[in-house]
Every structure is written in C-alpha cells, then in structure tokens.
Structure 1
Amino acid sequence: MALKHVHFVGKLLQSAAEIESVIINGWVKKEHRKGRWSFLHVSDGENHDTIQVVLPKDVGHNVGVGSAITISGKWTKSGGKQQAMELLARDCRVWCKDEGKINITSVDQIRKFPHLRTKHEAFASLMRMRSKVTSDSHRFFADRGYVHIDTPLISSNDCEGAGETFIIKASNDDDFFGTEDKYLPVSGQLHLEAMTSAFPKVYTLNPTFRAEKSLSRQHLAEFRMLEAEIGFLDNVEILCDEVEDFVRHVVAESNSLVEDKSRLGIFTEELDTESIGPLADVVSSINRFPRLTYSEACKMLEDRGEKIVDGFSKAQELQLVDLCKSPLFILNFPSEQKPFYMKRSSDEKNALCFDFIAPIVGELAGGSIRETDAEKMRSKMDSPSLSWYYELRKRGTPQTGGFGIGFERLIQTLFGIPSIKDVIPFPRMKKMKFYISQISMVKLKRRYFLVEDLSEDGRIIKNSVAVHAIMEKIKELFGDYGAAAAVSQLSRRPIKAPTGMMIFRSSAECAHFVEKALPFVTKMGDKFVQLRLLRKSSTIRGLYLFAWEEHNRRVYSMAADQEKEDCLQTMAVTTGKRVPKSRNKRIWD
C-alpha cells in the first residue's frame, strides 16, 4: 500500500459521491456492535473529524477503542440518519490494540503521562496548533528573505555568561572535545551573528537548554528559541517593528484554528479571567503595541506602589500589560542589567535593547542592537572561547540587531495556556521522571496516612475540601512539580470515626510530599484544623485495625477514668480486643 493512495478523513467527508476503493489509516474513537455488524468511528488525527466504518463480522470484530487500524473498502451512502456517507469495509488490519483505558479528568493527570497524552483530544489539539504556528513562523521569515540556519547544539560558550548551562561529556572520554568545557546552548545568537557576514537576514528555530532549577509553570530545562539576526541595522525601533509584524502574522494565521481552540478548556480553566486575554483574542483590536522606555515603565508601576529592584518581576510585567490593556515593548534598560554583547547608548547608561511583554507569560521576546567594538565587549567578558566572536568585528560583518522569542511561551500567550509544561510534547525539568507507564500504574505501591484533627471544631470536612487543602500546601512547598506528581494519586478514604480521624492515600513515590505537607495544613475550607499523623502504612487494612484499636483504647480509658464499671463490661462483650471480621474492610459504617 503506497502512502499516496491513503485517503484523509477530512477530505473524504467532503465527498458526496461514492468511491469504489478507499483506504484510511487511523484510530478507533468509538465502537458499538449490532448483530453481525460493528460500527466504528475512526479518526486519522489530522483533525477531530471521524467517519463511520461499517465492519462485517467476517471482516473483523472486537477491534477495540484506541486501536490503530487500516481499513479498505467502499465509500458509499449511509443507511443511517446520523451521517450521509460511510465506509463499508472489505478489509481491516489491526496494527495494535490499546490495552488500557485512559480516564483523564484533570490537566495534572495529562502531565503525568507524556508518552500517552496525545490520546487526550485537548492535548492533540494543542500539538496540531503548535505545528501550525511552527509552519506559519517559517513562512513569515522565508517570505521576508531570511535564510534559515541550523545553529549548533554543542557550544564552547554560554552566550550570556549567566552560568545556567549543562556541561556535556562523552561517556568514556572526558577530553573528547579537548580540555575546555563544552555546553548545550542557551542561545544560537552568536552563531547567527557569524552568518550575517554573508547573509543580511538569518533566523533559527532550535532547541536551547538552561539548567533552570525552578519547578514553576514558567520554566523548562529544554525549550525552543525562535531567533533572528538582521545585518545593516542600528535602530532598535526597527527590531520592534519586526517582532510586532511577526506576532500579528501568527495571530492572523491562527484564526483558522477555531475547532482546536474550542477544545482547550481543560488547559485554560486555570486562567486569570480578570487579566487581559490571550494574544489571539486581543491583537486585532490594538492598532499598535505601546512602546515605553524602562524609566516610563518604572514610573507607571511606582505610582501604584510597586518597588522596582533590578528589573521587573513577572507579576509587575503582567501588571503593565493590564495597565496598557495591550502587549507592549519596554526599551532602553539600564546597562548593568544587560549582557556584554548589547550596544550601549553614547553615555553608556542604557542598553539599546527591548523586552516584549505579553499576556500570561510576561516577557515573551528580547532583542538588541549588537556591540561593534570588540574591546568594549572584552572588558565585560574576556573569554578565550569568544575569540572567534570578537574576530567577526574585523572581518566585514555589518552592524547587526536581533531578537529571540521563546517558542513555548509564544504558544502559551497565543492560546491562553497557563503552564509552559502543557505546550511541549515532552517537557524536561529538574528531577523529573521521564516516563511513567500508565499500564503499570495499577501495580504501583501505595501509602496510607491515618491523620487526626485535634481541633475542637467538630464539623465534618468534605473529602474534596480536605484533599484540596493538602494539595495547595504541597504546591506551596514543592511547586507545580510536586503538585502534579501527587494530584492524581492523592485521595481521602472513607472512615467514620467519632474521634476526627481521616485516612489519605497517595502513591509511594509521592508519599514524602504528603507527609511533609500535613503538619503545615492549618485550614480545610472554612474550618481551622490541627493535624497529627498517627500512623503511615502500606495497607489500608493496617490503618483500619490501628484506628479501631486506638478508638477502643480511648473509650476504655475514658470509661475507666469515670469509674463506669457497667460500661467497661458492656464494651468488653461487644467489641473485644480486635476488629470484628465483618468490619475488616470499613469500620464505623
């Protein structure tokens, strides 16, 4: 079967004429059987469209939802009322059955299985949207005469000198690249500048790496940078024009993604509805993005009680977006805040640069005019590994300016996705476990926590409220990583003890998050609590037994203190020293 003979589901649905021979590849989204016929709804992943496949029993049966299949048959008029046309199968090849059912109800669960999450329609939509923005970006630069450059992924310098780099070494040869350290790149800028000695406009869309220790929703260790460099340029305003044109281009092209956008609700539900919306929703109503100097932006924030220390925080950047009711450019930052390669003003007080601030993400892009004086750069960064870069200033390289756009952040701000981990297929961050098998999750060991509330408030706490309070404390202590790791396995188990006891369950791998968070939980909903961990166990039955015995001990102790002999005798007869067999699984029901 040649690939050119395979039909696309979307195009097939547009045909009202019968086609004698049709071949489709795809995945079963729904399946139901009636008599000797199976009816499959099949999608090929190009979009959300599905077609109905009528499968006779002698051709195939029990295919299974999620299975990867190839169907060949006749495209013909449907005998049902729900569709005009259907595919009557003559042959069915099942490439692989899906042995597990993914029941995902939250975005945290989607993050837990990066190798499987394309099976969730919201994430599949996001990946299609990312693909389109990628192709639209390449088209923008190609149409403007830029030459695409593949910058290296092994570098002898860390570009900005910030030190947030990964050092690479061969597994069996420490001096494979010589005695000097080599790095994964934090930027392709310096190599793009080298290309402007022959090409006036160059760009790249390449992986970059930063040893970012933050586990927040804003950072990744591996991401994509869209970087451009323009020769014969000494005006930072022209760079701002280029960035604005690019943003407007990708927004306009994304308007065709209506169906995919409509399926992103599980990702966008955490979005702050009081702030300005995604770029895709607001750009068309803005004639020109505001441009402020650094001093003007500082004054705007200081007038509202903000304190500026060495640049803007993300919260302050987003506040500026809300105040301007638009994405904006901030120009001419103080020299001491910017790296060695940026050209300075004549009085050396400011760098000829800009940051582009966008909704949801804050800083989206940064750019500058490049320094032409090699000696000035050496005075700020005198490194032998940069000697080739300084030599460019003597080899016919024109004055250049350039910018970099974080591609994942671009997807975030375009479509309103709060977490950067949701817009990349396989997010990489500090201390992550790269893959967790969803099939083996059933076999993962669990940990159970018997917790007692010592407060005098006797009100009952709902399960969802109790779990939410612990999750918020885990997020506060361990960031989004800890919360995402624990959320899908943390739950409260039923136990109706009159002494304020609660049982919580988590996976063994996340138990330390829960255990460390419990003492710091002081409020569940509107109830103030004082939690004490009584016991931790690998089985829930062990905690039920302990809770039962602890409850009996306390009641015996209370009765003995009050010298109620009749109570003691009655309890000895009715409870004994162990849990009745009929109550091994759940007590106090």
Structure 2
Amino acid sequence: MLGVLVRRYSTRQSISEILQQKSLGKCDVSGWVRNARKQKENTFLDLTDGSSFTHLQVVLPSSLVPHDLKNHSALRVSGDLIASNHKGQEVELHAQEIKVINSCEEPYPLQPRKHFSLNFVRQFPCYKSKTNSISSILRIRNRLTQAIHQYFQDNGYIQIHTPILTSNDCEGGGEVFKITETKSKTKNNSEETNLEYFDKPVFLTVSGQLHLEAICNGISKVYNFNPAFRAEKGRTRRHLSEFWMVEAEMAFVEDIHVLMDGIEELIKNVTINFLKYQAEDLKSFAKSAKVEDRTEILRNMVSLGFHRITFTEACQMLSDAGQFDKVVDDFSREHELYLCKKLGGPVFVYNWPRSSKPFYMRTCQEDSDLVYCVDLLVPGVGELCGGSLREISATALESRVEGSELEWYIDMRRKGSAPTAGFGLGFERLIQWLIGAENIKDTIPFYRSSHECQL
C-alpha cells in the first residue's frame, strides 16, 4: 500500500511558509539580506528567500552582527519567532545564532532602498531576481504557468510535447532560425569537412500547431506549452526571439465562436487564479516598477464579455475615426490599440482577408476572400492570441502549398481526419498585459532578441 512521502531532505521552512503559518517558537531560516539597519542595541535585517513578496524581519543584538554581513549576503539564521507589535508585520525572528554563508563583495549594482528602472535592472541578469519587481514577475509567471496547465487538465485536454526542431515553417513568414551544418575533422586531424546533420532544411520551431493537428487526428483535445523562436529583426517592446507559446487544438469544431469561447474562458480562468493567489505580487510589481496597479482593471475584465467584431466592422470603425489611412488586409499596432480603447477592453476580430493569413485557415462559406480566423486584441499590447478553423479540403490545401514538405499535412484530409480548430497565445504578452509591464523583456527570466543574448 502506498503511503504519503515525508519531506526529509530539509527541516528549513521557506519565508512564505513562516509568514503564512505564524508558528511561534524555534525557527531556522535561510535567505538574503535585503536591507540592514544597525542601531545602538539592536540590528534589524530584512531577510528574503524569494518565496514571498514580503520579507521576514530579523532582530539581533548589534554586538552579534558578523563583521562580514552586508546587504545581499546569504545567511542562515536560528532563533525564536515571536508576535510583532510593529505595523505591517505579524511576526519577527529574534536571532540567537546567525551565520554568513557567503558575503556580498562590493561593488554591487543594486543597492537597497533605491529605485532602479527595469531598463537598468535588465543589464544584470545574475542579480535581478533579488529586486522586488523581477521577483514579483517571476512568481506571477509561475502562477500563470500552473493555472494554464490546470485549466487544460480540468477540461479534458492532453498535453503534447511538440518538437523544437522541425522541417516545417508553420507561418510561412520566413522569420525562422535554421539549424546549420556541423564541422568534423578527418582521422589525421589535418582537415575539416562540412557535414549536414539533417538531410533537409531544419529550423527552430515557430509554432507546434501542425504537430498538434497531427495528434488531434486521433486525440480530440490537445495542447502544448513550449518555447518558440522567431528571427525577427525588429527590436520593439513586445517582441522576443525566444518566447513561450500556449497552443491548443480541438477536433469536431466548425464554429469560430466556439473557438472564441474557449480562448476567453482560458484567459478569464487563469486571471481569476492569478488574482486569487498573487494579488499582492501584482501590487508589489506596480509599486516597484512605478506603473498602474491593474487589480481592479483585471477584476472588471473577468466579469465582462470580450467584444466580438468582424474584420469588416473593425475597418469601418477605423474609417469612421478619421485618423487612419484605409486598411487593406491587416492592422498596425496603432489600429489594434485604437479598437481596444474604442470598445473598452479585449476585442476579438474575426473573419479576416485570406491575403493576410497563412495557408491552413479555412475559407469562409459566406465569402471566399475571407477565412475563419480570429485575433484577440488587448489594451496596451495589441495582438495577444490568434486562431482559426483549419482547412478541411485537401484540394484547397494543394492549391496553396508548394513543395513536398507538407504532403503529410494534406494527406491527413484524405484519411478520416475530423474538422479542427485551434489557437496560439503568446505567454509573455499575456504577462505583459496582465501586469502592465512596459517592456516584454522583463516578463521572461532571460530574454533573447536581435543582437541581445546575455548569459
């Protein structure tokens, strides 16, 4: 009979556990010194281990302060956890023993009680997790990750690990990273020859969609949560070369509104989860990054329905505004943000011109120049999510696809495949929108963009 595993590897509690449980008495904790305030009799330390936005106050006699204790040093502290009569904290640790595990040498770029812009913090990837703003973002990122998996698992989806290396350029935009040849020395090490590792062009994936469609040919509800790569040259505040994508595919779906329902439900569910568990981190980020606290905005968002308009209706709205040139087949970011502002929240725009969309989208029955496609636009970011009904006609796909790399994709339509629909959501853009971050580079632990790859 299987029993419950007991945690034996450590008796040390995290600071988050200590602050939540408030179990007074003997306490052993480790962390980093966020700030030290030395007075004549006592010294007060703000100790953090990254598990919570709130630090634990440690009180010790100034005579016991180690000579090598400095801000950002790593410590181990033992003592008594007692109730605190100081405003803003319920408990504090009165230290009886303190050990400096590793002192922090000067100079250190991020000093306590000073405000540093995220642009400055970004230059120090080794140290940025000690800042309030970035540690809050990383805890939020973790919560959103778990909430996304929970939503899909609770709704009958199977997670699929789609490949990072692929011979398919799903979007057809050409902004892909190609896997290059390797070099090998001859037996006498006198020469080097170029050897192709693969027998055809292979790229870092821009999307796992086509692979999900293949699996959806036998498992009707699937999703992935994988890294994706785009060799985009633009250096904007909402683009990354390496990012994470949430993608889902559903069989037996033939109504674009069913797809929109699924996207809206996912986003609202993960937002509710995030606000339930990480509301304090959202406030902490807003305060440390000096941006608007979005708590009430998000609460209002989950209580209202997302707007839904056709591409034609959106174009008319932009034309009526009298400040934009005529839209041909796609929107600029200014168009996207205007529509969100005009309608007051997230906006689904659906039924787009075929000329602006990839080959796999299904033709609208009402107008052959349009496809059953939807983009979700959100305030401050623009496009967050894109999806479509997938083309079910092998003949139609043959007329759009050249070459043999996608023969398997076309052939599925001839061998009992069901109609499918799916979407892809940029995870970092979701974070950027929810917390109000100005630059998407701050939403990921280590960002990669054109000409930038630290560590």
Q: Scaled by the length of structure 1, what TM-score is found? A: 0.68
Distance in 2 (CA, whole Å) between partners of 1:220 and 1:369 is 27
Distance in 2 (CA, whole Å) between partners of 1:219 and 1:258 is 26
Other structure's SS at 1:333 match:
strand
Q: For residue 98 of structure 1, what is the aligned residue in structure 2? A: 104
Q: For residue 230 of structure 1, what is the aligned residue in structure 2? A: 250
Amino acid of the structure 1 residue aligned with 2:214: A
Amino acid of the structure 2 residue aligned with 1:280: L
Is residue 334 of structure 2 the alignment partner of residue 315 of structure 1? Answer: yes
Distance in 2 (CA, whole Å) between partners of 1:267 and 1:375 is 56
Task: Decide which of 145, 150, 159 is 1:148's aligned counterpart.
Answer: 159
Q: Residues 246 and 97 from structure 1, CA distance in 2 versus in 1: closer, same or farther, beyond 3 angstroms?
A: same
Other structure's SS at 1:102 match:
coil
Q: For residue 252 of structure 1, what is the aligned residue in structure 2? A: 272
Aligned pairs for 1:175-214 (under 5 A) are 175-214=195-234
Q: For residue 51 of structure 1, what is the aligned residue in structure 2? A: 56
Aligned pairs for 1:135-174 (under 5 A) are 135-172=146-183
Is residue 132 of structure 2 the alignment partner of residue 112 of structure 1? Answer: no
Contact 1:154 1:183 in 2 (8 A): yes
| Per-residue deviation, 1:35 | 6.0
Task: Decide which of 283, 290, 293 is 2:310's aligned counterpart.
Answer: 293
Q: Which runs of 5+ in 1 are unaligned?
A: 436-589
Distance in 1 (CA, whole Å) between partners of 2:350 and 2:195 is 43
Deviations 1:159-200, CA, capped at 9 Å, x for gaps = 121100000125426544333111000100001111112211
Aligned pairs for 1:52-451 (under 5 A) are 52-55=57-60, 60-76=66-82, 85-99=91-105, 100-103=108-111, 105-172=116-183, 175-256=195-276, 257-265=278-286, 269=290, 280-286=298-304, 288-305=305-322, 306=324, 307-346=326-365, 347-432=367-452, 434-435=454-455
Amino acid of the structure 2 residue aligned with 1:258: A
Q: Which moved more, 1:41-50 or 1:160-169?
A: 41-50
Other structure's SS at 2:163 match:
coil
Deviations 1:444-488, CA, capped at 9 Å, x for gaps = xxxxxxxxxxxxxxxxxxxxxxxxxxxxxxxxxxxxxxxxxxxxx
Contact 2:136 2:284 in 1 (8 A): yes
Q: Which runs of 5+ in 2 are unaligned?
A: 1-6, 185-193
Q: Which moved more, 1:241-250 or 1:262-271?
A: 262-271
Aligned CA RMSD, in angstroms, stands at 2.7
Structure with a larger share of its residues in helix: 1
| Per-residue deviation, 1:261 | 1.7
Q: Residues 309 and 82 from structure 1, CA distance in 2 versus in 1: closer, same or farther, beyond 3 angstroms?
A: closer
| Per-residue deviation, 1:30 | 2.0
Contact 1:107 1:266 in 2 (8 A): no
Q: Residues 91 and 252 from structure 1, CA distance in 2 versus in 1: closer, same or farther, beyond 3 angstroms?
A: same
Bigger CA radius of gyration: 1
Amino acid of the structure 2 residue aligned with 1:227: E
| Per-residue deviation, 1:98 | 2.2
Other structure's SS at 1:427 match:
coil
Other structure's SS at 2:423 match:
strand
Amino acid of the structure 1 residue aligned with 2:176: T
Amino acid of the structure 1 residue aligned with 2:146: S
Q: Residues 265 and 58 from structure 1, CA distance in 2 versus in 1: closer, same or farther, beyond 3 angstroms?
A: closer
Higher relative contact order (CA 8 A, sep 6+): 2
Q: Residues 168 and 43 from structure 1, CA distance in 2 versus in 1: closer, same or farther, beyond 3 angstroms?
A: same
Q: Residues 268 and 292 from structure 1, CA distance in 2 versus in 1: closer, same or farther, beyond 3 angstroms?
A: farther
Amino acid of the structure 2 residue aligned with 1:246: L
Identical-pair percentage:
37
Other structure's SS at 2:183 match:
coil
| Per-residue deviation, 1:279 | 5.9
Amino acid of the structure 1 residue aligned with 2:358: P
Distance in 2 (CA, whole Å) between partners of 1:80 and 1:336 is 64
| Per-residue deviation, 1:402 | 0.1
Contact 2:133 2:289 in 1 (8 A): no
Aligned pairs for 1:528-547 (under 5 A) are none
Q: Which moved more, 1:30-39 or 1:305-314?
A: 30-39
Distance in 1 (CA, whole Å) between partners of 2:340 and 2:99 is 54
Contact 1:364 1:406 in 2 (8 A): yes
Distance in 2 (CA, whole Å) between partners of 1:264 and 1:7 is 25
Amino acid of the structure 2 residue aligned with 1:50: H
Contact 1:317 1:357 in 2 (8 A): yes
Task: Decide which of 27, 40, 54 is 2:45's aligned counterpart.
Answer: 40
| Per-residue deviation, 1:82 | 8.4
Instruction: Tell me how many residue pairs correspond in the alignment.
Output: 430
Q: Scaled by the length of structure 2, what TM-score is found? A: 0.86
